[in-house]
Structure 1
Amino acid sequence: MLKLNIKNETSRLRAVVLGTAQSNGPIPKPEDCYDPKSIEHVLAGTYPIEADMVKEMEAVAAVLKKYNVTVYRPKVIKHCNQIFSRDIAFVIEDKIIRANILPNREEEVEAVRYLWNQIEDKDRIVLPPECHVEGGDVMPHNDYIFIGTYSGDDYADYITARTNKDAVLAIKALFPEKKVKAFELRKSNTDPRENALHLDCCFQPIGTNKAILHKNGFLVESEYEWLLNFFGKENVFEITKDEMYHMNSNVFSISENVVISEQNFTRLNTWLRQQGFTVEEVPYAEIAKQEGLLRCSTLPLIRD
């Protein structure tokens, strides 16, 4: 049996599910895309090709193996985009919670069934159907659980709104001892620079007390201010709208002092090194064209 353990985003990683870009399927039609950035690249003729994305993901697998992390991969489903494993489930403490994701992505869940079956029944949680949630919106942070959400009346109009209030309440009920804090995110179906698809597109904790943050990703300024004060201004790396568009907040921590980051994130990577982090740079710019990056394509199962 797999004994899960995730208390935060940065403790030493021991086991993770890394998505796969194999048999990724044809270039989608604009109307079949799930986010504005993918649409932009489909229309521009710059949508990533499978061979490039496979290469990028193997670079991440190599870094994880270098740090002796056990890496699980989803079973390959023909012609299915299975890159973003964070969307299908997430772990808090010793529980795995299946994400209620866009209905036409159900088969992605089946591809990790072999792992699900290795987890004790009592630790597998399936939320009621009215709870919409994806792992990119959920961040355990020790005593806290941070959740990105959108609760506008027009929720149903946004394919980019992935986590609703029902899910926030359900997670609160599951973890009564945790402080659950929800953040309203800015949504756009058409402009990727005005769209925080998930909380990890505009915020992520790193190290023991630091964070990457993008103010415009938050709809409510006081909620952004809360995070700024929680981490302390001197510990926050504030990213620009352009850096958010390129997914600079979507790095991935192997430990409190080792971060996997995209090789083109010059300003961020320089700052991380100045703060004493070891930065493992990988090429991930092709995958980023689908509005997801390193955190989105990893599903941590065990951290120390």
Structure 2
Amino acid sequence: MNKLNLSVINETSRLRAVILGTAASNGPVPALEDAYDPKSREHIIAGTYPANDDMVAEMAAVNGVFEKYGVKVYRPEHIENCNQIFTRDIGFVIDNTFIKANILPDREEEIEAIQYVIDQIDSKYVIRPPEEVHIEGGDVMLHGDYIFVGTYRGADYADYIIARTNVEAVDWLKKTFPNKKVISFNLRKDNLDPYNNALHLDCCFQPVGKDKCIIHKNGFLEEEEYQYLVDFFGKENCFEITQEEMYHMNSNIFSIAPDVVVSEKNFIRLNSWLRSHGITVEEVPYAEISKQEGLLRCSTLPLIRD
């Protein structure tokens, strides 16, 4: 079997291979006490939790875009009654190395469902952090020599089911990738209010194009850390999203190339801005999946970018 030679150094280079989640058997609507995030909780209470068929159709639209661009797509193996949409949570690639995430314990079987892909990678390039390191791919953002990491530094970390990446993870990344500049950002967490909760860094920030980014100020607890990113990219290159746009996950689009993104069709203001900067926007319906506080970046795990 040909080995998979991983390569991901940023968020926007031309995509060649990706693991796209699946909604084939999401299971019944979760009980309220089993909700992992405030947005799912909101829709469980309202009776508007997304239907399986709708989510399957949304993911098929994304798969169609990948096919159009000649991207090799892997899908998780089927697990009955299991939410397998958000592959970004369970693993991520830094340079040529696959990191298996330490996620919420009852999601462990999701990693087993992509093991057939991991088996194609040379084992010396597959690592798992020690147990005390909590980390999910939505909090890890690559930008050349930089790794931007979302975290939560509060002493009450354990009280937040939506705090997914701890300070131990930031230290571990610094030790494991000493050639990178690891910059961490303290994110706003709220178990009950989706308008004031940045589940991951990609819920309030993402690089796009060659030198631009999408950002939401209120997602950051420390204003100077938000300001660091604005200064890093330059104010004129930052697309500031509103609280309402953050709630609908406008920063969670996905780049196929510096000049091609997949975005939700209802993101009118963002999509216009992207096009005004010469970026082709492949619009897909993804509003049902977004009800689980995840969107396009959350449901993709890039393996190879040029």
> TM-score band, normalised by the shorter chain?
over 0.9
Query: In structure 2, what residue type is equivalent to 1:277?
Result: I
Whole-angstrom distance in 1 between the partners of 2:262 and 2:115:
27
Secondary structure of the structure 1 residue equivalent to 2:228: helix
Whole-angstrom distance in 2 between the partners of 1:141 and 1:153:
29
Partner residue, 2:43: 41
Whole-angstrom distance in 1 between the partners of 2:149 and 2:24:
30
Q: Which of 70, 74, 77 is the equivalent residue of 2:76?
A: 74
Q: Which runs of no fewer than 5 residues in structure 1 stay unpaired? A: none
Q: Which of 137, 140, 146 is the equivalent residue of 2:139?
A: 137
Partner residue, 1:298: 300
Q: Would you say 1:97 and 2:99 are equivalent positions?
A: yes
Secondary structure of the structure 1 residue equivalent to 2:303: strand
Q: Would you say 1:192 and 2:200 are equivalent positions?
A: no
Whole-angstrom distance in 2 between the partners of 1:268 and 1:117:
38
Partner residue, 2:85: 83
Secondary structure of the structure 1 residue equivalent to 2:25: coil
Query: In structure 1, what residue type is equivalent to 2:92?
Result: F
Partner residue, 1:178: 180
Deviations along 1:196-225, whole A, 9 cap, x unmatched?
Answer: 000000000001100000000000000000
Number of positions where the alignment pairs a residue of Structure 1 with one of Structure 2: 304
Query: In structure 2, what residue type is equivalent to 1:157?
Result: D
Partner residue, 1:276: 278
Whole-angstrom distance in 2 between the partners of 1:172 and 1:301:
21
Deviations along 1:53-110, whole A, 9 cap, x unmatched?
Answer: 0000000000001000000000010000000000000000000000100000000000
Query: In structure 2, what residue type is equivalent to 1:26?
Result: P
Secondary structure of the structure 2 residue equivalent to 1:253: strand
TM-score (norm. length: structure 2): 0.99
Partner residue, 2:169: 167
How far has the Cα of 1:174 moved from its partner? 1.0
| Superposition map of 1:1-304 within 5 A | 1-304=3-306
How far has the Cα of 1:121 moved from its partner? 1.2
Whole-angstrom distance in 2 between the partners of 1:229 and 1:118:
40
Whole-angstrom distance in 1 between the partners of 2:73 and 2:123:
22
Query: In structure 2, what residue type is equivalent to 1:85?
Result: T
Whole-angstrom distance in 2 between the partners of 1:23 and 1:162:
24
Whole-angstrom distance in 2 between the partners of 1:249 and 1:139:
12
Query: In structure 2, what residue type is equivalent to 1:134?
Result: E
Whole-angstrom distance in 1 between the partners of 2:216 and 2:132:
29
TM-score (norm. length: structure 1): 1.00
Whole-angstrom distance in 2 between the partners of 1:302 and 1:59:
21
Secondary structure of the structure 1 residue equivalent to 2:79: coil
**Displacement over 3 Å in runs of 4+:** none
Secondary structure of the structure 2 residue equivalent to 1:186: coil
How far has the Cα of 1:14 moved from its partner? 0.1
Query: In structure 1, what residue type is equivalent to 2:65?
Result: V
Query: In structure 1, what residue type is equivalent to 2:232?
Result: F
CA RMSD of aligned residues (A): 0.4
Secondary structure of the structure 2 residue equivalent to 1:197: coil
